[in-house]
A and B are shown apart, each in its own frame.
Chain A
């Protein structure tokens, strides 16, 4: 088991190298001159040239990338062009907010998706099924930032129940987490419905029913756990969408997380910060999927053998 986890953590390295390399190259092509950004529009060409030399910007891109990775291994994510503070400080100040938002929205997503998908499956082809599926189609179709704006309009401006932005109190997380959760919820609900439909036709469900236990208990004790396996995969993938969604949602709700930091940094060509954010996202996504893979083993004893 431990060996398996270790193996999976090591396999994270190529993921991080791949992700950073691609981003580094793209940003390199798209960037304005960082020296000019740092010094401002009125800087003299000499000053810019001197700063470029100091920052090593005249080296080939792969050399610069190599230097960046070498520093990264030593825990140095570089210095923000924008604030001159270490990127790691900026990121770790904001990481808890993003984790908090992500966790809240995954929880909302699961709490809504599982019952919705299950009910739809049990009442297949009924009005309730149709309703659940229309809701989830609606959920997938609505852009999260637009939904976020609507939520602010309704719950903050009209009803005044929840704060429209910021992260000052616990209630602040509800709207952004919900806006973020909806599209993932829809997709997870559909997977749950499909796998539940598959499971409730299995022979062992009939066996369970032949014992005399009630329909509800059969679903809870026998069907749900078996249906969870595809659903878990879907949840793991949704975490990726959740992260990219957080970039927009954090901006809409002025949430002080990494997503918003990334947007600000991209706008200001603050490449070290952008890179740092992406590395954190890549690690986070990989770890969540590692956790998902480990959970398979708890849900389905047949999968334990793969941890050898």
Chain B
């Protein structure tokens, strides 16, 4: 496949992304050579623990890293084949909210408390369509109806809405200009479980209606199973396992992914104890030389501590970055089994 053609069919293509934060205490390596691609019209789940670099990756796409500390050191980010890192700030202004939108984690804090919600939604419409304020507000109210909020409530302020309603407002704002790519950064983490299901269901429907591609950032494998076509597992700023939903759930390769599954409660066997992954993510200011997961991995060997693992491809698409799964996979005859 030629490069051009490959880019053409991808909604988002990130290659070799390196993001650093320069702080007084030194350089924090938040993202370390991350590859990620989303095919048009599909949903990719980006799964990992707190601090793995999920949000940093998302903000890099929008080029909204905290300034001046955050820097994209290397790599490329292509949206629909267009190199986002080569864009000027002004050009990014036409892309943000129009071609790529983002839903942020905490709806409580992501709306401006002193502006009515319809004006907050109308702002993005007016900015990208040059519609006059009144028509933009009219459209904003229609967007509210789309996410299940009566339009006349648009003249209220965020504090007059519940958490779930606020997240609907945020979603309405993100979808107002029908973006090609929607980045949802833990969109339901701050919500009650019952509300979570509602919001997720709504997002799934809207994604279909709007024919969007989506990057679903989460730490919740349940949400991944529910909404995603493909899954990328991120650890210490690198994709450690990537594959289709089935690959990841049925043919888990990486011990870290295995650990994520083991951390989930099992409804069928309620006597089974949870097996949390021991230890913490390595300090991104001081990453180990070899595999970043080796300090927490039950299968780690000397090789893991010293050398960065290459990718091991189980199928053409499904891979993991792990020294051991190659061995285990071959020993067990084609399917890695972690016991």
- Which A residues are closer than 8 A to B by beta carbons? 202-204, 206-215, 221-222, 225-226, 299-302
Contacts and interface: CB of A to CB of B under 8 A. Distances in A.
B27 interface: no
Given A222-B112, A222-B115, A226-B112, A210 B96 contact: yes
B29 interface: no
Contacts of A208: 112, 123
B101 interface: yes
Contacts of A302: 113, 157, 159
Contacts of A207: 104, 110-112, 170, 173
B311 interface: no
A13 B93 CA distance: 55
| Among all A-B residue pairs, the 6 with the closest Cβ atoms | A212-B96, A211-B97, A211-B124, A212-B97, A203-B109, A203-B110
A301 B114 contact: yes
Contacts of B78: none
B206 interface: no
Nearest to A126: B68
B127 interface: yes
Interface of A is mostly: helix
A204 B95 contact: no
A212 B127 contact: yes
Contacts of A206: 64, 104, 110
A291 B86 CA distance: 50
Contacts of B95: 212
Given A204-B109, A221-B123, A302-B159, A210 B97 contact: yes
A213 B113 CA distance: 18
A61 B157 CA distance: 56
Contacts of A212: 92-98, 124, 127-128
B123 A204 contact: no
A210 B100 CA distance: 9
B234 interface: no
A203 B123 contact: no
Contacts of B157: 301-302
Contacts, number: 73
A210 B113 contact: no
Contacts of B64: 206, 209-210
B62 A204 contact: no
A214 B88 CA distance: 12
A4 to B, nearest CB: 19
18 contacts: A203-B109, A204-B112, A207-B112, A207-B170, A207-B173, A208-B123, A209-B64, A210-B96, A210-B104, A212-B96, A212-B98, A212-B128, A213-B123, A213-B127, A222-B115, A225-B115, A302-B113, A302-B157
B93 A202 contact: no
Given A204-B110, A210-B102, A211-B127, 14 more contacts: A203-B110, A206-B110, A207-B110, A208-B123, A210-B64, A210-B104, A211-B173, A212-B92, A212-B124, A213-B93, A214-B93, A300-B113, A301-B157, A301-B159
B106 interface: yes
A301 B92 CA distance: 32
| Most chain A Cβ neighbours within 10 Å, of B89, B90, B114, B170 | B114
B62 A210 contact: yes
B163 to A, nearest CB: 14
Interface string B160-171: 000000000010
Contacts of A210: 62, 64, 96-97, 101-102, 104
B109 A226 contact: no
A208 B121 CA distance: 10
Contact of A211 (B89, B90, B113, B123): B123
Contacts of B123: 208, 211, 213, 221
Nearest to B64: A209
A302 B161 CA distance: 12
A300 B64 CA distance: 27
Given A203-B106, A210-B62, A212-B128, A226 B111 contact: no
Contacts of B124: 211-213
